[in-house]
Structure 1
Amino acid sequence: MNIHFDPVLRIFSISTDHSSYVFGINDKGILQHLYWGDPVAAADCAPLLGSRSHSSFDAALDREAEEYAYWGGLSYMEPSLKVRWHDGVRDLRLDYEGYAIEQQDGRETLTIMLKDEYYPLQARLIYTVFPGLDLIERSAVIDNCGSQDIVLENVQSAAWTMPVLPRHRLTHVTGKWSGEFQLRNTDLSEGKTVLESRRGFTDGHANPWFAIDGGNASEQSGQVWFGALAWSGNWKIVAEKTAFELVRVTGGINDFDSEWTLQPGHSFATPTFVGGYVSDGFGAMSRMLHRYQYEVVAPDRGLRKVLYNSWEATYFDVNVQDQMELAERASRLGVELFVIDDGWFGQRNHDHAGLGDWTVNSDKFPNGLGELIHKVRGLGMEFGIWVEPEAVNPDSDLYRSHPDWVYHFPTRSRTELRNQLVLNLSMPEVKSYILSFMSELLGQHDISFIKWDMNRTITEPGMHNHPLNRQKELWTRHVHSLYEIWAELREKFPHVAFETCAGGGSRIDFGMLRYADQAWPSDNTDAFDRLSIQEGFSYVYTPKLMTCWVTEEISGMNKRATSIAYRFHSAMTGTLGIGANLNHWSKDQLAEAAALVDQYKAIRPLVQEGRQYRLGMLKHKGVEAVQYVGSDGNGGEESVLFAFLHSQKLGDRLPRLLLQGLNPDKGYRIDGIDGVHSGQSLMRIGIELPLRGDFDSLMYHIREQ
């Protein structure tokens, strides 16, 4: 058993292989957090349990460490739950009612029951433990057990209380379109630090995860506490530090402009908020979360295919002949999946018209999609296609027929972004329309891959034909409906892989990744820019889920010129894709690219399923390096190293790079380097990097002798 309750001490303890999480019921009946960190005996935490006071102005310090904070009484910190009763009372008083422990599929789940002392509301706090992963999934379910509506003004997934540390350093990512997943860290001071999205989806300006350490953790060492939220809409994570050195991190659905009317007999379930603790640095945190995705979150569909996407080759100028010519060249490179992007449907000759009219454009494809699909399949590739089902152009047959299907306020103009409006997915007829055209598209064509895009944030959040007092449910209803659509499509078409894409690196989170096979981290395909984007992505999300394209020699983003090898090496650190106009590539370029695709296929299991190590010790010299370690399939060990030099300075040679994750007692051969090298020497003495000039790169394939 990994979950225990001591009825005498009234303490709950959750144990994983390398951590303890402990909380209890104090003398006031408050569920109080006690400890989270390296393994301890629950009984040793007993002295930590009890109510505390400082003055009449700080009369309930124990509530600063409350396990699930409700708004009512002497609570002034960020609440986990805030309600409004039918009679106008806005105060909540939750009493502990009991607990249950269940075992299923090798996992243990603890449910804590809390009830309001007067009104018919129950809160169930749910903890699911993954012992081998040192992770705990947390969520809450709120039940209306009465006969009157209850308005949930704020309902969060969990609150994580940090230990007292010399410093509380917060690590997270920020970004913008073309510059997502940029790592940041800051010391928390008294007050709140808020990470959030209010745009309708997860958003590329921030991503719903956090990590906190004492200011001295590195990639390979130090204590780190962390969490990641599984929600694809508006979200919020609040790190709040008190004057008494307590830090609590609360996260869940963003309460901005958001309410939920909980009807009698109904329940509201929050998204999952997974949390964990490691004692050996950010690299260990990432590998733990990667395993969580492989084993718990992401659909298991084996290795992701090398794809070609025709967007940057043709943009909207799509026609069957050009696509077939691109497919022929792509197949000669060893591409396994050919994807046609925007422009194949309706009057979609530009981004001003046609979105929402999901019928094949007969001028571009006079014989339908079948002609192109037959050609692609005949070349030995699978076929994929782009869609953007949640949005519509005002210049479309769909909008002209159903102008009330979009979010809008009747007295306000409808803001267009990218010449688009957003469909109200909570309307049954809209949901039915999307499921109908997607089912027809996938049912009538041999399609193996869907790139599902969303290039529009939500504005004018009004819902036609929805009760006026429940308009603020829009943000949550959109996500629930989206999940239901994806779940139904995945069940009906289990052979189809789905990629989530939203304005670049938005809508990437553990909620969406329960349905999506892979994700598009940024519209920026510049090979050098992608290194920092992909590094930030890797802190939480796996390389297997990260689609990376090789595009043109001169970057359209920065006009930077890089070699084919550099561009491929950058893209080979995730799931490899190609997005260049192959019709402009010479025979020599195509031959070099084909050889690099073969190299990727040889090391693909390591990149997509191995353990990832970020080797940042030479960043001060302009070197980015990443290593993947896994099995060679025959009981031995195998690794691949990618290293990238930004620019050489002053004629300096680079220091040796220390590898990680190898067996110190084994010998290894490195392709391109003579001799056998012990794991110990590779990790302690390192290897020389023959990188020179500007934007140089290398790949070393390392095999156990």
Structure 2
Amino acid sequence: MILIGGAAATDAHAASNDGAVHIDASGHVFRLDAAKVTYAFGVNDKGQLQSIYWGPRLAAGDPLPAPIAPPGRDSIDGTVNVIPQEYTGWGEGLYYEPDLKVTFPDGNRDLVLHYQSHSVHGNVLSVVMQDIERPIVVTLQYEIDPGTGIVRRSAVIENRSATPVVVEQASAGTWLLPRGNNYTLRYLAGRWAGENDIYERPVQPGKTVLESRRGSTGMQNEPWFAIRRNDADETHGQVWFGALAWSGTWQIAVEQDQAEQIRITGGFNPFDFGYQLAPGASLQTPSFYAGVTNGGMGEASRLLHRLELTRILPQAPHPRARPVLYNSWEATGFDVNEAGQMALAEKAARIGVERFVVDDGWFGARNSDKAGLGDWTVNPQKFPHGLKPLIDRVHALGMDFGIWVEPEMVNPDSDLYRAHPDWVLNMTGRPRSLGRNQMVLNLARPDVRAYVFGALDKLLSENQIAFLKWDYNRSWSEPGWPAVPADQQKNVYVDFVRNLYGILEELRRKHPNVEIESCSSGGGRVDLGIMHLTDEVWPSDNTDAFDRLRIQDGFTQAHTPGVMMAWVTDSPSSMNGRSMSLEYRFLSSMQGSLGVGANLTKWSEQDMATAQRLIADYKAIRDTVQHGDLYRLVSPDQGSEHSATEDVSPDKAHAVLFAFLHSSTEGYPYPTLHLQGLDPEARYRVRVLQGTLAERTPTVASGAYWMNMGIDVTMHGDFQGTAVAFDRE
């Protein structure tokens, strides 16, 4: 909705119409208000888009300053470098990170973007900019989420000239923070089996680059950032945060210039990037979401979680609770057959599992990771009657059926590769590198896209499959596309991901009851782009329950626990040989979407009974865990003896506390835990799911009591866990 009129009328309307776009009487100042946030920018006297304000919500009637370009401070930097522009082309003497860089056929690389027009459709503001001399048009999109105040930005770049141009750098936009030198950047980095470590560094003059050059999101950096004032912590203080929705190569650059202006620019990774834009063609950048809060890092996470649950996920705004899952991989590896899977399914049903998933090894000549990828037909030796007998048995046991696929990859030892060796990413005459004995299919090719969709569509059409575990187990190498002219080959970085998204969208339309998990050797493809098309994600191949506490702590900085698949696996851990009780392993996994990946044929009757009890408990609390507000009470930092999390349902009627003791030192008691997020006036009844509370802990007390007096748990030894539910009376 647009309001054009006096400031008083516009601001009065803003208080009651969250998510609407408001434009002042001049038509040159744009204001977006939602939840506790105001975002404002305008057209300055030079025709540029200039940032005005982004922060806690302003009151009705508060004036916004006119966007007037500040004068240059010296002759060295030039005026353009001191203007806080929303979106810049590389030109006019710009020295900081541009949003858009283009090369024209005549060699010109100067691009200066000025405002042309704007329009509003629903709650989306579109602002059109154009180069001062050439017909390169950029349409910027702005949308603010009514529930969280998180702003979505993206850009559409159009070539309206008669000749091709090459886009060498393209971002969704630049976020600008108030000038200053009191900021700290938080980001996530890691590796295979060690994803989502939390790192912090001061924001100082220069540039910090977070990126992936791997063809996919990667696990070395998450496409997420948070920048806090230096006095902010988990529960208090100002934090700006954001995440890219893109599953290919990406970059987020955090830059402080010589005037202490902070800029965060994000979009396609410019490394080896060169998208040829034909006459009349357009290029859509990824969406870049960002928000601000005065409630510290914890509230920043909860806002992003709420956006994911209500706007990003395929089933938003009311995503289905994730079913308790069993996956056969750690029990059988590639040794998959009908009888063995049926035996596992019998045991999984006994403990309350709702979804049974057959992992790798069911197709083609797949007896190891050296053969069969690409040949998506059922192995007749392992399943002589196809998948139907197994699926029927799984259904008879009261579970739905899922299966593992890795459709973007191919083994050299496969019928597909022997028939189509040209279908992989490759550079003519150069070696074709293997990773995990496989190569990457060039999904940018229309014939490859058609094959992948056709194979999956056939599999789903011929079998009653409710779930795909969609894996992706290597990064790109030799990212060539010899089938197209040399000046178009770098389009592969965009077209591959667009076709991936297209396949997922088409499968979901044709098979609306099928759910999908994004897996990539663990957490190698987790971002808001893939989350929009998949129902859950796999954070790490490391299922050690203690390691997972740290991995999950980092994961929830950026992503909701509702999509975080967490398996209970065997002890000692295959990752590091560490032994832990079954109860500890369950409580670690119950903080997300619960799964079981252990070899159930080796479990004792006592193990089965424990699992049955805890799975039943989980089902009673999972809506709160998966769709509630997460409070990280004690972070499992390396060297810490304790960690604790709390989930609170959106209506504050229920809460769940998970507390862990990793090792006892010198007999110190477990610290008192002070809950957060409860209704202080309500009364909550305590229900212990696992562990022991201190003597004289009340059975019923107010929310104020549990938040201020706190609760004491009793744990001694190593790798102990406690879980407590709180229910409003």
TM-score, length-scaled by structure 1: 0.97
Aligned to 1:292: 307
* Secondary structure class of the residue paired with 2:493: helix
* Secondary structure class of the residue paired with 2:719: strand
- 2:42 paired residue among 5, 18, 24: 24
Paired residue type of 1:475:
Y
Aligned to 2:134: 119
Distance in 2 between residues matched to 1:638 and 1:39, nearest whole Å: 30
Paired residue type of 2:94:
S
Paired residue type of 2:712:
E
Aligned to 1:99: 118
Paired residue type of 1:668:
Y
Stretches of structure 2 that go unaligned for 5 or more consecutive residues are: 1-13, 15-19, 689-696
Structure 2 matches for 1:511-526, cutoff 5 A? 511-526=529-544
* Secondary structure class of the residue paired with 1:169: strand
Tell me, yes or no, if structure 1 residue 162 matches structure 2 residue 162: no
CA positional deviation for 1:251: 0.1
CA positional deviation for 1:474: 1.1
* Secondary structure class of the residue paired with 1:671: strand
Distance in 2 between residues matched to 1:512 and 1:203, nearest whole Å: 12
Structure 2 matches for 1:401-440, cutoff 5 A? 401-440=419-458
- 1:56 paired residue among 65, 75, 78: 75
Paired residue type of 2:328:
S
CA positional deviation for 1:146: 2.1
Aligned to 2:659: 643
8 Å contact 2:103–2:166 — kept in the other structure?
yes
CA positional deviation for 1:34: 2.0
Aligned to 2:192: 177
The range that moved more, 548-557 or 280-289, is 280-289
Aligned to 1:279: 294
Distance in 1 between residues matched to 2:62 and 2:582, nearest whole Å: 61
The range that moved more, 162-171 or 42-51, is 42-51
Paired residue type of 1:15:
D
Tell me, yes or no, if structure 1 residue 567 matches structure 2 residue 585: yes
Aligned to 2:89: 70
CA positional deviation for 1:63: 4.5
* Secondary structure class of the residue paired with 1:431: helix
Tell me, yes or no, if structure 1 residue 609 matches structure 2 residue 633: no
Q: 1:585 to 1:618 in 2, by over 3 A?
A: closer
8 Å contact 2:45–2:67 — kept in the other structure?
no
Tell me, yes or no, if structure 1 residue 15 matches structure 2 residue 29: no
Distance in 2 between residues matched to 1:74 and 1:429, nearest whole Å: 44
* Secondary structure class of the residue paired with 1:530: helix
Structure 2 matches for 1:591-670, cutoff 5 A? 591-616=609-634, 622-630=641-649, 637-670=653-686
Distance in 2 between residues matched to 1:692 and 1:674, nearest whole Å: 22
8 Å contact 1:175–1:205 — kept in the other structure?
yes
* Secondary structure class of the residue paired with 2:661: strand
Distance in 1 between residues matched to 2:636 and 2:114, nearest whole Å: 54
* Secondary structure class of the residue paired with 1:53: coil
CA positional deviation for 1:636: 7.2
8 Å contact 1:63–1:75 — kept in the other structure?
no
8 Å contact 2:427–2:480 — kept in the other structure?
yes
Aligned to 1:686: 710
Q: Over residues 488-544 of structure 1, what are the superposed CA-to-partner deviations in whole Å (9 max), with x where a residue is unaligned?
A: 111110010000001210111110011100000000000000011111111121111
Aligned to 2:8: none
Distance in 2 between residues matched to 1:490 and 1:443, nearest whole Å: 12
Aligned to 1:696: 720
Paired residue type of 2:161:
G
Paired residue type of 1:637:
A
Tell me, yes or no, if structure 1 residue 353 matches structure 2 residue 378: no
Distance in 1 between residues matched to 2:469 and 2:156, nearest whole Å: 33
Distance in 1 between residues matched to 2:633 and 2:180, nearest whole Å: 27
8 Å contact 2:104–2:166 — kept in the other structure?
yes
Structure 2 matches for 1:449-528, cutoff 5 A? 449-528=467-546
Q: Over residues 141-173 of structure 1, what are the superposed CA-to-partner deviations in whole Å (9 max), with x where a residue is unaligned?
A: 111222111211111111000112441210110
CA positional deviation for 1:271: 1.1
* Secondary structure class of the residue paired with 2:528: coil
8 Å contact 1:30–1:66 — kept in the other structure?
yes
Tell me, yes or no, if structure 1 residue 134 matches structure 2 residue 152: no
8 Å contact 2:630–2:648 — kept in the other structure?
yes
Aligned to 1:269: 284
Paired residue type of 2:681:
D
Q: Over residues 37-62 of structure 1, what are the superposed CA-to-partner deviations in whole Å (9 max), with x where a residue is unaligned?
A: 12236874426732221111022265
Structure 2 matches for 1:245-394, cutoff 5 A? 245-300=260-315, 301-394=319-412
Identity among equivalent pairs (%): 46
Paired residue type of 1:210:
F
Q: Over residues 407-453 of structure 1, what are the superposed CA-to-partner deviations in whole Å (9 max), with x where a residue is unaligned?
A: 11121111000000010111121111111111111000110000000
Paired residue type of 2:164:
D
8 Å contact 2:29–2:42 — kept in the other structure?
yes
Paired residue type of 2:711:
I
Distance in 1 between residues matched to 2:145 and 2:455, nearest whole Å: 39
8 Å contact 2:313–2:532 — kept in the other structure?
yes
Aligned to 2:254: 239
CA positional deviation for 1:621: 5.5
Paired residue type of 2:256:
K
Tell me, yes or no, if structure 1 residue 442 matches structure 2 residue 466: no
8 Å contact 1:11–1:46 — kept in the other structure?
no
Q: Over residues 56-110 of structure 1, what are the superposed CA-to-partner deviations in whole Å (9 max), with x where a residue is unaligned?
A: 102226545111021001211101001111221110121211211222xxxx111
8 Å contact 2:652–2:677 — kept in the other structure?
no
CA positional deviation for 1:655: 2.1
8 Å contact 1:628–1:639 — kept in the other structure?
yes
TM-score, length-scaled by structure 2: 0.94
Paired residue type of 1:681:
Y
Aligned to 2:7: none
Aligned to 1:209: 224
Paired residue type of 1:199:
R
Distance in 1 between residues matched to 2:375 and 2:45, nearest whole Å: 63
Paired residue type of 1:215:
N
* Secondary structure class of the residue paired with 2:306: helix
8 Å contact 1:569–1:699 — kept in the other structure?
yes
8 Å contact 1:63–1:69 — kept in the other structure?
no
Paired residue type of 2:721:
S
Distance in 1 between residues matched to 2:325 and 2:86, nearest whole Å: 46
Tell me, yes or no, if structure 1 residue 6 matches structure 2 residue 20: no
Stretches of structure 1 that go unaligned for 5 or more consecutive residues are: none
Paired residue type of 1:692:
H
* Secondary structure class of the residue paired with 1:132: coil
Paired residue type of 1:657:
L
The range that moved more, 680-689 or 16-25, is 16-25
Distance in 2 between residues matched to 1:375 and 1:4, nearest whole Å: 58
Distance in 2 between residues matched to 1:344 and 1:63, nearest whole Å: 60
8 Å contact 1:202–1:507 — kept in the other structure?
yes
The range that moved more, 19-28 or 695-704, is 19-28
* Secondary structure class of the residue paired with 1:483: helix
Q: Over residues 590-616 of structure 1, what are the superposed CA-to-partner deviations in whole Å (9 max), with x where a residue is unaligned?
A: 111111110101111111111111112
